[in-house]
Amino acid sequence: MSNDLISEMERDAVYKTIYGRRDIRSLFKPDPIPSEVLARILLAAHHAGSVGYMQPWNFIVVEHEGLRQKVKESFERERGEAAMLFSEEKRMKYLSFKLEGILEAPVNLIVTSDSTRFGPQVIGRHSMPETHLYSTCCAIQNLWLAARAENIGVGWVSIVKREDIRAIFGVPPHITFVAYLCLGYVTHFPDQPDLERVGWGKRLPLEEFVYFDTWQGQPSESRKDLPQILRNDGAEA
Amino acid sequence: MSNDLISEMERDAVYKTIYGRRDIRSLFKPDPIPSEVLARILLAAHHAGSVGYMQPWNFIVVEHEGLRQKVKESFERERGEAAMLFSEEKRMKYLSFKLEGILEAPVNLIVTSDSTRFGPQVIGRHSMPETHLYSTCCAIQNLWLAARAENIGVGWVSIVKREDIRAIFGVPPHITFVAYLCLGYVTHFPDQPDLERVGWGKRLPLEEFVYFDTWQGQPSESRKDLPQILRNDGAEA
């Protein structure tokens, strides 16, 4: 099936999923995720491309209550520390946000990356050794979109201490901890990102961040229409 | 539209796209990519989630022949260097592979990440400052899947020197170069990854890389079925 052309209807389903994906923190329902569904989501991640076909990822499915409680404690400590870096006004706002669903989401998922998989000789990794991490992040986005296509929400918790995750779950030193994710069915998928809804940030106008041929370069004659299309479509999207 | 449920038919279109995505190096056609299509692909990237909603990415659309020639020269130098690290047998094989379509693909695209966007105070970046790179890679995977949904192939060239890219395109020091991509319509999308087809590597059995509750942990009673499902579905996929 993989070499089939994608129809317009199928293409639109992909865009609907990409535009409808959210970082979910507070809308989790306790309904369990069946293993069949979890397997499809993990296999979608596994079908990301990877530099030199090294497939550097591992996944830890975390459902144990006590372990999640420890992660929640790490989050609380880190959030308190990070809050001190904001001005007082911003700090109160920051502390009012719900930023994770560690205990409410029925499944937590740790994603790691193994830079040593297949030894030192991996095609394409000589010039940019960090690319194994990039591959693992591509796998995470596959997972996130597959979950959305299963109507399952995903929240990425980046307010945790790497050392805590390593200690709680016994992750060995040669493995990079990349992401702590919360997965579960949700009451609904909001129209906007949370931080936009609460007025913390807004979507940037993409046309200001696309250059041509060089950094800050302007479009040639044949691409003069692109910034305007980005502006219009971005406003609609 | 984003809060709609995804139907089974739409879900299957997403999986078809995820499974049918390839890293394309040698099947590019010279047909130009219309700006409307390129805009949709870039906007899909822009709709990735990002830590603290920082949207740290920039894109440089590269179509200038002379600039692409310089990138190709950087690739050739790096490939030669990397080849020396392989044993003689592997080296001949490695040098026989077509690993990029820099000059054949009508559009090259540089993706960068700006760790300074919005200043030092970004929600979620205190504990893991590298997360801006992870967000940018998620955007790249959105772009890759959107391109596939438009029946456009993408190849990620990681055999280039960061310093060369920086110099050729004038990328400033505070910006991280993340990816050099080649985009174009293709003769077809192969069933298998290139490195699998030529016998360099094979897809790993995912069930060996999924753990439960701790590193190398075995499944609890309620997830005992998951490894078997992964094994079966992986064999089909």
Classify A146 as helix, strand or coil: helix
Which tokens belong to A166? 């390593």
Inter-residue contact A70 to A183 (CB < 8 Å):
no
Q: How confident is the model at residue A94 (pLDDT cuts 50, 70, 90)?
A: confident
Residue A175 bridge partners (DSSP): A114
Q: Which CATH architecture has domain A19-201?
A: 3-Layer(aba) Sandwich (3.40)
Cβ contacts of residue A50 below 8 Å, gap of 6+? A56, A132, A135, A136, A138, A139
Q: Average pLDDT in the B14-28 region?
A: 97
Other C-beta atoms lying within 10 Å of the C-beta of residue B211: 21
Residues in B closer than 8 angstroms to A237, CB to CB, are 43, 47
B129 backbone dihedrals φ, ψ, rounded to 5°? -60, -20
Reported pTM? 0.96
pLDDT at B1 over 50: no
Q: Which residue's structure tokens are 């899947």?
A: B145
Q: Which amino acid is at A38?
A: L
Among B64, B133, B135, B138, the residue to mutate for chain A (most A Cβ within 10 A): B138
Q: Which CATH architecture has domain B21-199?
A: 3-Layer(aba) Sandwich (3.40)
What interface predicted TM-score (ipTM) does this complex get?
0.96
Q: Average pLDDT in the B96-118 region?
A: 94
Quick check: A18 and B237 CB within 8 A? no
Quick check: B47 and A151 CB within 8 A? no
B119 backbone dihedrals φ, ψ, rounded to 5°? 75, -170
B114-137 pLDDT, tens digit per residue, is 999 977 677 777 788 889 999 999
Domain limits, chain A: 19-201, 204-237
Cβ contacts of residue B3 below 8 Å, gap of 6+? A20, A188, A189, A190, A191
Lowest mean pLDDT among A2-16, B29-43, B52-66: A2-16
Q: How far is B104 from chain A (nearest CA, A)?
A: 16
Quick check: A2 and B209 CB within 8 A? no
Residue B202 vs residues A50, A125, B227: alpha-carbon distances, Å: 12, 17, 19
Quick check: A1 and B16 CB within 8 A? yes
Q: How far is B26 from chain A (nearest CA, A)?
A: 15
B180 backbone dihedrals φ, ψ, rounded to 5°? -115, 115
* Sheet of strand A175-185: strand arrangement: A152-157, A175-185, A107-114, A57-62, B210-212
Q: Which residue's structure tokens are 């801006």?
A: B132
pLDDT at B15 over 70: yes
Lowest mean pLDDT among A122-131, B129-138, B158-167: A122-131
